[in-house]
Chain A
Amino acid sequence: MGDEIRLALPASPEHVPLARLTVASLAGALGFSFDAVEDLRIAVDELCYLLGADGRPGSIHFEFDVDKNSLVIIGEGAPGGPVREFAELSEQILAATVSEYTVERVDDHMTCRVVRRREEALA
């Protein structure tokens, strides 16, 4: 079992940098490459977008599970702005930046789980 880090932030664009800094710091400490850290920053940005970081009331909760070979991110919040469905570009972004991803929506609650394994070449 690795370390678990939790982060809760208001669903607002000005707090998204906190999530990016957190993931970059964790991935950097794991020895992930610059490319992988950049990918994870983009993936977390996208998760914030999917989870409603558009200034509405509410919050986004992240859990980062770190072990020596992977970083797992679980994000929960309300579905974001115009993203009625898990839209095409969001899916493409996650597919290109993480090793695995799932997005589940139940009514007004959305849960995203992504995994990035160390130095995995992503297509």
Chain B
Amino acid sequence: MTVLESGSRRPVPDKREVRELLMEYHESGDPALRDRIVEIHLGLAEYLARRFDRRGEPLDDLVQVASLALIHAVDRFDPTRGLEFTTFAVPTIVGELKRYFRDKGWALRVPRRLQELHLRLATTVAELTHELGRSPSIPEIADRAQASTDEVIEAMEAGRAYRSSSLDAPISGDDPTAQSWKLGQPDDNFTGIDERSELASLLRDLPERERTILLLRFYEGMTQSEIAERIGISQMHVSRLLSRTLEQLRRRAAEEDRAI
């Protein structure tokens, strides 16, 4: 049985019932008991997921992550140690949510206003580039985005902390055409690179889109805005992919002690 905490919509599990269920599940391993314990605590999982809402990831996904973490917590909890289940479950679920953000979304240390500005800049830069027929200056971007130049620069840097959930999926609020990116045929070869070099070998292991963007920028001399237009994604996304690809190459070169 669960009761509602006064002044809150979050159901509070009956501690005695939970203790008995956990003890019984610990002894029998009966999946029906586990389901019951999970069901009782789903409100807790959702409550914790909501604490991470509006950080760039859909709430439904967060609730799912929290619910899976809850199941793992039930499995790993040892009731014979005398701890309350929630004392164990809360840090487990919160830890899993934080890990999810590290792996899939924004690093938590990026303030929300910078996350939002970063995503807004994708559109702002594209509009201004189109209107002016050239790459806009930072004050022009700041003026259009109704932000200070310092905030624009911080938001550019914040992009480093963004991890899209899939390299091939469009990023929420940015790049609606990301999945329809179009590669130029002649550019995905290794123009100007010795095919037998260490660098060529590392480049071969990159996803095709990342390799193409890198070659277009550093070997074909295209600007980020030209690449963005050609590939059909925002310039902010090109910037993120370039920096991420370079980081990846340096890491791999370091692991293999290669000079690239």
Interface residue ranges, A against B (CB under 8 Å): 17, 20-21, 24-25, 27-29, 31-39, 41-42, 45-46, 49, 54, 81-85, 87-90, 92-93, 95-96, 122-123
Contacts and interface: CB of A to CB of B under 8 A. Distances in A.
B103 to A, nearest CB: 19
Given A17-B157, A25-B153, A41-B156, A36 B135 contact: yes
| Dominant secondary structure of chain B at its interface with chain A | helix
Contacts, number: 99
B134 A33 contact: yes
B83 interface: no
A102 to B, nearest CB: 18
A28 B139 contact: yes
B237 to A, nearest CB: 12
Given A35-B135, A38-B239, A42-B242, A28 B223 contact: no
A13 B206 CA distance: 22
B92 interface: no
- 10 residue pairs, one from A and one from B, having the closest CB atoms: A28-B138, A33-B135, A35-B135, A123-B221, A87-B259, A24-B153, A96-B218, A89-B260, A92-B218, A35-B223
A35 B224 contact: yes
Contacts of B129: 34
Interface string B148-168: 011011101100100000000
Contacts of B259: 82-85, 87
A82 B254 contact: yes
Contacts of B246: 42, 45-46, 93
Contacts of A49: 250
Given A28-B153, A83-B259, A96-B217, A42 B243 contact: yes
Interface string B200-229: 000000000000000001110101110000
B249 interface: yes
B178 interface: no
Given A82-B258, A87-B260, A92-B218, A34 B135 contact: yes
Given A29-B149, A33-B134, A33-B136, A88 B197 contact: yes
